[in-house]
Amino acid sequence: MNLLISQLIALLPWLLGALSLYILMPRYFHSDLGFKCLMIGSSFLIGYVSLAAQIWLLDQLHIKAISPFLLVTSSGMFLATFAAKSLFKETVTDLDDSRSTHELNFTFCVILALGIIVTLFVIHENFLWPAVAWDTVWYWSIEANEFLIRENSQKNDSFSTIGPHPKTLIYITAWGGWSASFGDPIRLAPFIPWLQLYLAIGISIFGLFLRKTESLTISIVFTYMFLSTPLVEAHASLGGYGELWLAFALFLSIIFVNDFQEIRDIRLLILAIILAFIPTFLKGYGIAYTAAILATFFLIPTAKKLGHPIIFIYFCLLFVMPFSLHVFNFDLRSIGINFAILPEKEVLIAFGRELVLGANDFSRIFYNLYVAIFVKNSFGIVFFIIAVSYVYLMIDLIFKRDMKILPIIGLFTSIMCILITSLRYTDYLFSFSHPGNDSSLSRALLTLFLLGFVIIATNIGKLRSFPF
């Protein structure tokens, strides 16, 4: 009974996030199954990030954070959502509320059963592993435990941390550890938020493919591909890294931007912008991902106003980036931004770290990427499908000038160029990226992996629209 209570407590942020989004956007919860799944997935991120924000606020006010005071702040959040709801007007283009009927078939049932088996194994592993994996040894779990110990000691000063990352995932880890220990000294599933993240992404991928393809079978096949990827399973069951959180925020944000282009509901755009800022509050280098997707948002209306030459210029700048970082020399620390490129000192200061600014050889970079993506990274056939889909959509963008696919193509290319630039110019990522030891590179590729599902779904949706 204590275990059941503790896990129900752990689910509260997701449930509260769902209630908040339902207050603001009820029609999307009553829409087709695909949109329901996307809203359920978004509720997870909104709920947990808002929980972390409430814990931070209470801590800044020197109030015990994980306490009944959370009920007060949550009530305030709901009042704010009701107030925000009154500001929204009816949408310009109505959402198609017609219900699509999907017939179950043998293939769907078999793959669903396989997906459930994989998920049960991940749940079992998540419940039994202690919080000792990867970065948790020196950062996430230690800091979260320090926070909980400090909560019990009734100290009056605000909680401070070491390391280059924001406190968001520390607070989320603390919530998981606290709920796991509720009435149960064995502390099963201290990384329950990571397990919920795994489930939320799976639900969202299913919803994305269902909306794009209207096929239960195609949707469950790609959902199973995500659920059964060994690297994803490891991140969900062991916790300790934040890359899945970063990738999920970008994944949802670009989906809702695409939906906004069709539905023209300002609430979808606001939700996309909120999700776009979440990476900044998760990890130190999350600001690079936020900048990439905000640049993509800016590109869409600019391209519609100035035409296709601006798209050509944008992609040229992206592809030039890995070749030209060393020609810049500027320091933003004087205006309070901890970022500097100093070629004469061979130093790059970014994301809370001081990195050696070198120039690694491109042949080694692309060889390491090839090994990481197609040989050692357990992504399997998915990245081959992503590569083919990306090339097809890029050709479609160039020759057919389909502006609807611009957001995902632009964001995927931006993240890819950021990754290659990081490999070329910094010692940190490249030193861990060789084929025998590619932990950091594998984690970075999770973002491309998840965005790749949007690429694939968009591609299949376009192909199914052809009158074969």
Sheet holding 330-331, edge to edge: 330-331, 340-342, 347-350, 353-356
Domain spans in the chain, listed from the N-terminal domain onward: 2-87+104-241, 284-464
pLDDT mean over 73-82: 88
Single-letter amino acid code for the residue at 421 = T
Kindly report, residue by residue over 443-452, the tens digit of the pLDDT: 888 999 999 9
Kindly report, residue by residue over 354-403, the tens digit of the pLDDT: 778 878 888 888 888 888 887 766 677 888 999 999 999 999 888 877 88
Kindly report, residue by residue over 152-185, the tens digit of the pLDDT: 776 677 788 777 788 899 899 889 888 887 766 5
- Please say if the pLDDT value at position 201 is more than 90: yes
Grouping H, G, I as helix, E, B as strand and the rest as coil, residue 330 is strand
Kindly report, residue by residue over 42-65, the tens digit of the pLDDT: 999 999 999 999 999 998 888 888
- Please say if the pLDDT value at position 94 is more than 60: no
Quick one: pLDDT at residue 412? 95
Residue 150 CB neighbour total at 10 angstroms: 17
Quick one: pLDDT at residue 92? 43
- Please say if the pLDDT value at position 240 is more than 80: no
**DSSP for 439-457, written as a single string:** HHHHHHHHHHHHHHHHHHH
Please, is 202 exposed, middle or buried when counting C-beta atoms within 10 Å of its C-beta (0-12, 13-18, 19+)? buried
- Please say if the pLDDT value at position 408 is more than 90: yes
The whole-angstrom separation of Cα 328 and Cα 346 is 12
Closest CA to 121 of 193, 174, 198, 46: 198
- Looking at beta carbons, which pairs linking 78-85 to residues 24 or more positions away fall under 8 Å? 78/19, 78/20, 78/23, 81/20, 81/23, 81/24, 82/23, 84/24, 85/23, 85/24
Closest CA to 127 of 198, 67, 52: 198
More confident residue, 103 or 355: 355
Q: What sections of 190-340 are H helices per DSSP?
A: 192-213, 216-227, 230-238, 243-263, 266-277, 286-306, 309-324
- Please say if the pLDDT value at position 119 is more than 80: yes
pLDDT mean over 194-199: 94
The whole-angstrom separation of Cα 184 and Cα 221 is 38
Kindly report, residue by residue over 304-359, the tens digit of the pLDDT: 888 888 888 999 998 888 888 777 777 777 776 777 888 777 788 877 777 788 78
pTM to 2 decimals?
0.91
**Residue 142 pLDDT class (50, 70, 90 cuts):** confident
